[in-house]
Amino acid sequence: MADASSLPVVIVGSGLAGYTIAREFRKRDKLTPLVVVSRDHAGFYSKPMLSNALSGRKDASTLVMKSATQMADELPATVLAHTEVRRIDTFARVVHLANREPLAYRDLVLALGADAIRLPLEGDGAADVLSVNDLDDYVRFADRLDGVSRVAILGAGLIGCEFANDLLARSITPTVIDPAAGPLSRLLPVAAGEWMRARLEAAGVRFRFGLAAISALRNADGYSLDLTDGSRVEADLVLSAIGLRPRSGLAREAGLVVQRGIVADRHLATSAAHVYAVGDCAEVEGHTLPYVMPIMQQARALAATLSGTPTAVSYAAMPVLVKTPACPTIVCPPPLGAAGDWSLRSDADALEARFCDADGTLLGFVLMGSATAQRQALAAQVPALLA
Ligand SMILES: Cc1cc2nc3c(=O)[nH]c(=O)nc-3n(C[C@H](O)[C@H](O)[C@H](O)COP(=O)(O)OP(=O)(O)OC[C@H]3O[C@@H](n4cnc5c(N)ncnc54)[C@H](O)[C@@H]3O)c2cc1C
């Protein structure tokens, strides 16, 4: 093997995690060769904008902020677009690429993202169900919207509700189907879900809660979805937004420890030497947090580590802005499994829900409507997730 110190830092993935690491690393180290490998176009875009692009009148060309070539010049780095990593050899410190020579690394950063989970639907329309988890998906979705007036959305989580709200900007009626009792059921207490539901319904979103789709059948006008109670939803287009699963196959095949995501410690180090994991694919100290703010914290810490100052990631409270203008919402979920209770107060304009433990420590909160102005004041009271 060549002297490893002269080898590049190789980042696999050109999403928010991959490019944020690359930028943070370049702020500290201008000399070490840097290679970004991506199986997609490798242009830089903001994924969160995909679920409010219709109301923002954005299309694929305006969503891409920098092309792969611009990113390569700006960093600087070698950016290998449309190049898939097929295998990682952690012993030889090499990644095997489709249609290219293997690439040796000094350090390898896995920023592979997550896959959309597919609902196992029956029927000849099942394969036509779309999901939007990257720019290429968005282009396929947006291209199908002309002449559409009814979209069925599977899943009333954050992404399903954001798309439902956004479709209203195109005068499309969304029907959102979810087995739970209300929207964002994993993030909101029941009463907050009801508050949001009322506002989204008033804006034009239809919900079918407590139900799941069983099959999608094509018909002359689009699709018929059969639901678990025997009822039917007719739609011109079906969008699935039932969740994401960290992309961990490549790591698992390379022998890395994988649980929900690629297991990493607070230095973002995986179980293999010189291999790190960040973003949606990573499970850092037991936490999989598929949001922008944790990625920023991870990128800063890992860039410091890779440039010679070992740095553990720390997460302060990280409230998530839900892009549903019909019901402005900020969610700071309590840690998974935390003991405590929700208390809630609301009026016609605002809702504030606080999750506190037995000592009264604020562990999480939900703010809606005009209460969203309290975001910073409450976030400052929530203890850090990883101090
Ligand atoms: C519609 C939508 C709206 C969202 N809104 C918000 C929001 O409002 N706020 C918020 O905090 N979060 C939001 N999120 C989540 C946030 O966008 C993600 O957490 C973040 O973008 C993930 O970035 P990533 O780099 O980890 O993954 P990705 O952006 O998915 O990047 C993964 C990269 O890995 C590459 N790759 C994968 N496998 C290989 C391989 N074998 N070889 C080579 N390359 C490979 C891919 O090509 C891609 O470039 C949203 C997500 C979605 C889908």
Name residues whose C-beta falls within 8 Å of residue 57's C-beta, 6 or more positions apart in sequence.
none
- Whole-number Å distance, alpha carbon 129 to ligand 1 midpoint, is 20
Instruction: Say what the pLDDT of residue 196 is.
Output: 98
Residue 35 has pLDDT above 90, yes or no: yes
Residue pLDDT, tens place only, 330-380: 999 998 889 999 999 999 999 999 999 999 999 999 999 999 999 999 999
**Residue 291 CB–ligand 1 contact under 6 Å:** yes
Quote the ligand 1 centre to 16 CA distance (angstroms).
Answer: 6
* DSSP code per residue over 36-76: EE-SS---EE-GGGGGGTTTTT--HHHHEEE-HHHHHHHTT
What's the average model confidence in pLDDT over 242-263?
A: 97
Confirm if 113 and 277 have CB atoms less than 8 A apart: no
Instruction: Specify the higher pLDDT residue, 377 or 1.
Output: 377
Mutation choice for ligand 1 from 20, 35, 38, CB with most ligand atoms inside 8 A: 38
Q: How confident is the model over 137-167, as pLDDT tens digits?
A: 999 999 999 999 999 999 999 999 999 999 9
Distance in angstroms (rounded) separating the CA atoms of residues 211 and 190: 17
Average pLDDT (189-193) is 96
User: In the predicted model, what is the mean pLDDT of residues 37-62?
Assistant: 94
In the predicted structure, residue 1 carries a pLDDT above the cut 60? no
Please name the residue whose Cα sits nearest to atom 22 of ligand 1.
Answer: 280
Q: Determine what percent of the chain falls in helix, strand and coil, rounding each to the nearest 5.
A: 25, 30, 45
Q: What's the confidence (pLDDT) of residue 252?
A: 98
Tell how far the Cα of 340 is from the centroid of ligand 1, in angstroms.
32
Residue 161 CA to ligand 1 center (angstroms) comes to: 18
Which pLDDT score, from 0 to 100, does residue 60 have? 82
CA distance 176 to 157: 10
- Among candidates 200, 184, 194, 210, which has minimal Cα distance to 333? 184
pLDDT band with cut points at 50, 70 and 90 for residue 305: very high
Give strand pairing partners of 162.
none
d(CA 184, CA 322): 10
Structure confidence at residue 4 (pLDDT): 81
Q: What is the pLDDT of residue 245?
A: 97
Q: Ligand 1 mean position to 50 CA, how many Å? A: 11
The DSSP bridge partners found for residue 167 are none
Q: Identify the pLDDT of residue 347.
A: 97
Atom of ligand 1 nearest to the CA of 293: 11
pTM over 0.85: yes
pLDDT for 99: 86
List the domain boundaries for the chain.
4-114+244-306, 118-240, 328-379
Per-residue pLDDT, 387: 77
> CATH fold of 118-240, please?
FAD/NAD(P)-binding domain (3.50.50)
Provide the pLDDT confidence category of residue 59 given band limits of 50, 70 and 90: confident
Average pLDDT of the chain is: 96
What class, spelled out in words, does domain 4-114+244-306 have in CATH? alpha beta
Average pLDDT rounded to a whole number, residues 226-249:
98
Query: Parallel, antiparallel, or unpaired for β 262-264 and 282-284?
Result: parallel
Nearest CA to ligand 1 atom 6: 48
Farthest-apart Cα atoms in the chain, separation: 67
Question: Measuring CA to CA, which residue among 191, 197, 195 is closest to residue 156?
Answer: 197
- Does ligand 1 come within 6 angstroms of the Cβ of 323? yes
Is the pLDDT at 5 greater than 90, yes or no? Answer: no
Whether ligand 1 lies within 6 angstroms of the CB of 9 is answered as: no
At 340-349, the pLDDT tens digits run 999 999 999 9
Residue 3 pLDDT level (bands cut at 50, 70, 90): confident
Question: How remote is the CA of residue 134 from the centroid of ligand 1, in Å?
Answer: 7
Q: Where are the alpha helices (DSSP H) in the chain?
A: 16-28, 60-63, 68-74, 135-143, 158-167, 190-203, 249-253, 292-306, 375-379
- Is the Cβ atom of 108 under 6 angstroms away from ligand 1? no
214 has pLDDT over 90: yes
User: What is the atom index within ligand 1 of the atom nearest the CA of 163?
Assistant: 1
Model confidence band, residue 116 (pLDDT cutoffs 50, 70, 90): very high
The reply to whether ligand 1 has any atom less than 6 angstroms from the CB of 322 is no
Nearest CA-CA partner of 152 in 230, 84, 215 = 215
- Protein residue closest via CA to atom 8 of ligand 1: 48
Write the Ramachandran bin of 113: left for phi over 0, alpha for psi from -120 to 50, otherwise beta: left
Three-state helix/strand/coil letters over 127-142: HHCECCCCHHHHHHHH
pLDDT of amino acid 2: 58
Ligand 1 in reach of 39 Cβ (< 6 A): yes
Angstrom CA distances, 385 to 9, 102, 189, 211, stand at 29, 39, 20, 34
Q: Which residue pairs, CB below 8 angstroms and at least 24 apart, start in 336-344?
A: 336/287, 338/363, 338/364, 342/189, 344/189, 344/191, 344/192
Confidence of residue 86 (pLDDT cuts 50, 70, 90): very high
Average pLDDT of the segment spanning 43-72: 94
Please tell me if the CB atom of residue 116 comes closer than 6 angstroms to any atom of ligand 1: no
Whose alpha carbon is nearest atom 44 of ligand 1?
38
Assign domain 328-379 one CATH number from 3.30.390.120, 3.40.605.10, 1.20.120.1460, 3.40.50.880. 3.30.390.120
What is the Å distance from ligand 1's center to 114 Cα? 7
**Shortest CA distance to 356 belongs to which of 367, 374, 342?**
342
Residue nearest to atom 3 of ligand 1 (CA): 48
With a 6 Å cutoff on the Cβ, whether 242 touches ligand 1 is no
Task: Give the relative orientation of helices 158-167 and 190-203 as an angle to the nearest 10 degrees.
Answer: 20
Mutation choice for ligand 1 from 44, 248, 280, CB with most ligand atoms inside 8 A: 280
> Are 4-114+244-306 and 118-240 the same fold in CATH?
yes
Q: Over pLDDT 90: what percentage of the chain?
A: 94
Q: What is the DSSP string of 271-320?
A: SSTTEEE-GGGEEETTB---SHHHHHHHHHHHHHHHTT------B----E
Q: Does any ligand 1 atom lie closer than 6 A to the CB of residue 193?
A: no
Do 281 and 268 touch, CB atoms closer than 8 A? no
Rounded Cα distance between 267 and 310, Å, is 7
Q: How far apart are CA 263 and CA 272, in angstroms?
A: 10
Q: Report d(CA 176, CA 160) in Å as an integer.
A: 7
How much is the average pLDDT of 211-224?
Answer: 96
Q: Which of 297, 263, 291 is nearest to 277 (CA)?
A: 263
